[in-house]
């Protein structure tokens, strides 16, 4: 186990400082409906009404409670590395408001407390009670781990006891499961601190009951007399990943966030129980996503219809959904697969999503957010093409369905949980962030300017000589012969296994490890089966995917193509977008002059050489509204 991890990193410090200084207080105001000209949240008001402290009806979506829980979780994690008594008091106040709404039997969901408890647990398919419960459990575990305070944990345990009494295959219980998964991995986080086998068994029950015949959701729908929204859809129960038992599933289908939340819970249960069949199901689903259904940014969910996966290699850039929560879900899934088995491909995807598809969801000032993360944008199309109405050319202040902003906060605030792992044989370093790692009597002080530079320096601190492996991930983007490792200035004996370079020796205080990764602009091409990217290329620098913006390259980016000889240059620009490495390459632009009176003509386009300026994808749309493109013609 990791005893402690401290992040002190030039890249991530600035982002996480924004979370503390701007994101947390801004989102607290949003939850209290105090952001002018933004959609109201209703969250805190709902809990006050449910607790009898205020009168009125339920506001917002049926799953609105979850936003409060995610904010509490994110705020709690910031206290670990940025203690703030004032913020802790605000969290305690929020917890008391939540606790006051809990019913005597442990039930807690403001939608049904306000609208009628007689209807609770009657619409598991669509009404998110177990989803809200899952987020509450996650928040409770985080706050307890950081502060030692049990108030919210006791609320969560009482709610879980109520759920244990309600669900199961025994007579008198409901043989149901959530329409929107998350409670599965939440219960596993709870199990990690309680070691209560009931919590593990409940998580396994929700996973194994899903998709069993007769299908619970069908019977529930008949009882309710409720129209099934996906009745005539190609999804039907695939939307919920409930079309068959999870152990039989081979493709990632349906709502992308629900899918990866479910798979994360499956991986956790497989790890805790040693269930090989369930682990193999996770591997199959992982391979399907990462080899056929994931964007270069780590985004998933190619269709606005159902916020969903579609079919293999269907990855449109301009109508993509790519919900921020889905990229976050990929980080969750990757992290749990790493706990299941140490393979570099999981950490590669975790890194890809973190540096691209996740942080793109938040403006650099921490006050505006993307729900959808496109790879190609024409502002006029966003405004006038109905099929692109979900794509926004600029981030929004808030959303009526605001799942993404607090989700970003809770992930960024908890990055310490993603850096490394230990087992009985090795300390595994997954992500290269500056700071300090302590595990099993050994600590590593890490210094790096990654991802802008490829040099990582690690100094070993031990009280006495320690013999064990230190395993360093060799990123998948780094080719053969493009990395090297030295110890105390000399070449070292290395065993490369599953994407990790293992260093085995007796470590002494002051030993220095150097990892050098070759950072250079890389031209990336998609599998030819990805129709939308045929004849195009993207640029990547280390883990960062780059894009062209109108702000640097002018409009009509569709008329731009890469030159055969790129003459690529990476340049540090400290005053641009908070400080970035920008890329410059040679390109060609088709001249638009002479086409004013023509729509079609038998003529070759005239081209002129230009110098293209590329910025990291995560930082796009921070300089006003304009065109953007990741994939560019060759």
Q: Which residues pair with 516 in a beta bridge?
A: 455, 484
pLDDT score for 2: 67
Distance between CA atoms of 258 and 94, rounded to whole angstroms?
Answer: 27
Model-wide pTM > 0.85: yes
Q: Which residues of the chain have pLDDT under 50?
A: none
**What pLDDT shows up at residue 400?**
85
Cβ neighbours of residue 459 under 8 Å, at least 6 residues apart? 444, 445, 447, 510, 511, 512, 513
pLDDT (0 to 100) of residue 599:
95
What 3-state class would DSSP assign to 224?
Answer: helix
User: What distance lies between CA 2 and its chain's CA centroid?
Assistant: 22
**Is 307 a catalytic site residue?**
yes
For 277-425, where are the E strands, in sequence order?
376-377, 420-422
Confidence at residue 75, expressed as pLDDT on a 0 to 100 scale:
97
Would residue 420 show up in a list of annotated catalytic residues for this protein? no
Q: What tens digit of pLDDT does each residue of 73-96 get? A: 999 999 999 999 999 999 999 999
CATH 3.40.50.10860 fits 421-517, yes or no: no
Question: CA 450 to CA 457: how far, in whole Å?
Answer: 11
Nearest to 544, CA basis, from 512, 516, 583 = 583
DSSP secondary structure letters along 85-122? HHHHHHHHHHHHHHHHT--TTS---HHHHHH-GGGTTS
72 closest CA partner among 146, 7, 128: 146
CA distance 240 to 254: 6
Residues in the chain: 634
- Domain ranges in the chain with CATH number 2.60.40.1180: 421-517
Instruction: Please name which of 131, 138, 128 lies closest in space to residue 75, comparing C-alpha atoms.
Output: 138
Q: Which one of 129, 138, 304, 307 is the catalytic residue? A: 307
Q: Which of 43, 282, 403, 478 is catalytic?
A: 403
Residue 38 burial (10 A CB sphere; 0-12, 13-18, 19+): middle
Give the Cα separation of 98 and 135 in Å (integer). Answer: 13
Which DSSP letter does residue 620 get? T
- pLDDT score recorded for residue 619: 98
- Return the pLDDT at 423: 87
Residue that has been written with the tokens 């996503």 in this structure: 289
């Amino acid at each position: 186990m990791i005893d402690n991890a401290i992040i002190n990193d030039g890249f991530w410090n600035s982002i996480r400082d924004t979370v503390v200084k701007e994101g947390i207080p801004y989102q607290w105001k949003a939850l209290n409906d105090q952001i002018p000209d933004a959609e109201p949240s209703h969250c805190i008001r709902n809990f006050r009404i449910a607790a009898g402290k205020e009168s009125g009806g339920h506001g917002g979506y049926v799953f609105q409670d979850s936003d409060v829980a995610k904010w509490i979780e994110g705020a709690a994690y910031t206290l670990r590395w940025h203690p703030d008594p004032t913020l802790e008091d605000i969290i305690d106040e929020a917890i008391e408001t939540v606790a006051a709404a809990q019913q005597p039997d442990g039930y807690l969901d403001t939608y049904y407390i306000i609208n009628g408890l007689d209807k609770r647990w009657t619409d598991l398919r669509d009404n998110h009670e177990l989803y809200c419960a899952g987020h509450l459990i996650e928040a409770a575990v985080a706050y307890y781990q950081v502060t030692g305070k049990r108030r919210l944990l006791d609320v969560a345990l009482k709610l879980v006891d109520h759920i244990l009494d309600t669900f199961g295959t025994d007579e008198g219980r409901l043989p149901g499961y959530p329409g929107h998964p998350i409670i599965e991995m939440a219960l596993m986080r709870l199990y990690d601190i309680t070691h209560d086998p009931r919590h593990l068994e409940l998580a396994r029950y929700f996973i194994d009951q899903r998709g069993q015949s007769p299908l619970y959701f069908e019977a529930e729908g008949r009882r309710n007399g409720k129209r099934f929204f996906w009745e005539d859809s190609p999804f039907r129960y695939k939307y919920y990943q409930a079309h068959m038992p999870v152990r039989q599933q081979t493709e990632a289908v349906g709502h992308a966030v629900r899918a990866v939340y479910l798979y994360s819970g499956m991986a956790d249960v497989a790890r805790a129980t040693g269930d090989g069949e369930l682990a193999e199901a996770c591997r199959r689903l992982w391979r399907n996503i990462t080899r056929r259904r994931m964007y270069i940014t780590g985004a998933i969910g190619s269709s606005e219809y159902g916020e969903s996966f579609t079919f293999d290699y269907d990855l449109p850039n301009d109508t993509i959904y790519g919900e921020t929560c889905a990229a976050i879900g990929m980080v969750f899934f990757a992290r749990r697969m790493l706990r299941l088995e140490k393979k570099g491909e999981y950490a590669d995807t975790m890194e890809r999503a973190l540096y691209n598809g996740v942080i793109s969801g938040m403006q650099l000032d921490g006050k505006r957010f993307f729900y959808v993360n496109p790879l190609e944008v024409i502002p006029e199309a966003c405004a006038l093409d109905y099929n692109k109405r979900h794509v926004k050319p600029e981030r929004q202040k808030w959303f009526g369905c605001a799942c993404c902003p607090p989700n970003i906060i809770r992930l960024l605030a908890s990055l310490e949980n993603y850096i490394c792992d230990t087992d009985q044989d090795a300390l595994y370093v997954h992500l290269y962030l500056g700071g300090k790692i302590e595990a099993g009597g050994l600590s590593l002080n890490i210094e790096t300017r990654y991802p802008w530079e490829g040099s990582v320096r690690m100094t070993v601190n031990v009280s006495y000589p320690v013999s064990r492996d230190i395993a360093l991930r060799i990123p998948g983007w780094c080719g053969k012969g493009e990395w090297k490792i030295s110890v105390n200035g000399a070449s070292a004996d290395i065993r490369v296994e599953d994407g990790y370079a293992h260093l085995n020796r007796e470590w002494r205080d002051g030993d220095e490890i150097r990892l050098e990764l070759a950072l250079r602009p890389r031209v990336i091409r998609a599998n030819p089966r990805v129709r939308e990217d045929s004849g195009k290329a993207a640029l990547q620098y280390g883990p960062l995917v780059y894009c062209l913006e109108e702000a640097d390259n002018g409009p009509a980016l569709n008329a731009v193509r890469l030159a055969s000889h790129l003459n690529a240059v990476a340049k540090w620009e400290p005053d641009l977008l908070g400080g970035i490495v920008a890329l410059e390459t040679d390109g060609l632009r088709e001249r638009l002059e002479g086409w004013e009176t023509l729509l079609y003509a038998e003529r070759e386009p005239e081209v002129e050489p230009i110098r293209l300026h590329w910025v990291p994808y995560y930082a796009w749309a921070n300089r006003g509204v304009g065109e953007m493109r990741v994939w560019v013609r060759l």
